Amino acid sequence: MKRLLVVSAHAADFVWRAGGAIALAVAQGGEALVVALSYGERGESGELWKEPGQTLERVKTIREAEARRAAEVLGAGFVGLDLGDYPLRVGEEALWRLVDILVDFAPDVLITHTPKDPFNPDHPVAYEAAEKARQLASGAGVASAFRTIRPPEFWLFEPHQPELCGFVPNLFLDITPVWEKKRAAMEVFASQAYLVRYYSERAEHRANHARRISGFKDIERAEAFQRVLPQVLRAL
């Protein structure tokens, strides 16, 4: 039973890239929590801005509602920090909020964005914040003068264009048993409905890779991740 924490730059990132992992953790008796640093109201809500007379506050309200509903579908808790987007800025106060969330939730696995993304200015900022918060929350794995947690596994989820973001998948997760939950969560985001097909197809592509690697022929949908830290085993 795993405790999974996902740090998402915008309200919907967690659904496209780690929705299956979240649903699977919950289905297996674990807990999941999503932290959205922003709602993506400025740069991630193009469909909403096509409506005449649209306002920033209304878009933000819609995006927050979508994010909370999607997290609910997946069985996860949701925290929105509302830091704004394009550009996303994580100041010291927000960083310590994130540290407190890590310490209180004490995840077994932490997932966030890649440190490089030439098409999105906010994703690397989210990575930097999550990485710094992880180090502070775990005390770099040694005794400290402040409250710390056992270092969680640290994964990066797949960016939209992985080959341009330095993403090297070294972990494939079979999400076949929870695929319908992920699909339902993706469909909550009417503000980015065009991405549902893209990430549905991506799940099939990664399942093909997972089948070839593992020989498990029943994998129909998968998500790809990159482990940042080495795996530590106590038995072979």
Tens digit of each residue's pLDDT (9 = 90 or more) over 161-175: 999 999 999 999 999
pLDDT of residue 54: 96
Q: Residue 143 pLDDT more than 90?
A: no
pLDDT of residue 82: 98
Q: Rounded to the nearest 10 degrees, what angle do helices 13-27 and 56-74 cross at?
A: 20
**Phi and psi at residue 154, to the nearest 5°:** -125, 115
- Count CA within 13 A, CB hemisphere, residue 160: 11
Q: pLDDT class for 146, splitting at 50, 70, 90? A: confident
Q: Evaluate whether 119 touches 164 at the Cβ level (below 8 Å).
A: yes
CA–CA separation, 12 and 211 (whole Å): 28
- Coil, helix or strand at residue 86: coil
In the chain, the percentage of residues whose pLDDT exceeds 90 is 94
Length, in residues, of the chain: 236
- Tokens representing 214 are 């593992």
- The H or E element that residue 89 is part of is none
Q: pLDDT class for 226, splitting at 50, 70, 90? A: very high
Q: Residue 140 pLDDT more than 80?
A: no
Calculated CA dihedral for residues 118, 173, 108, 136, nearest 10 degrees:
-10
- The H or E element that residue 154 is part of is strand 153-157
Q: pLDDT class for 145, splitting at 50, 70, 90? A: confident
CA–CA separation, 75 and 26 (whole Å): 6
CA–CA separation, 122 and 171 (whole Å): 24
Q: Residue 84 pLDDT more than 90?
A: yes
**Phi and psi at residue 45, to the nearest 5°:** -130, 45
Type of residue at 71: A
CA–CA separation, 133 and 27 (whole Å): 27
Q: Residue 69 pLDDT more than 90?
A: yes
Q: Which of 32-36, 124-128, 137-141, 224-228 has the lowest mean pLDDT?
A: 137-141
pLDDT of residue 162: 96
- Tokens representing 101 are 């969330």
Tell me which CATH homologous superfamily contains domain 3-227.
LmbE-like (3.40.50.10320)
Q: Residue 107 pLDDT more than 90?
A: yes
CA–CA separation, 61 and 204 (whole Å): 33
Q: CA angle 156-158-160, nearest 5°?
A: 135
Type of residue at 193: A
Q: pLDDT class for 144, splitting at 50, 70, 90? A: confident
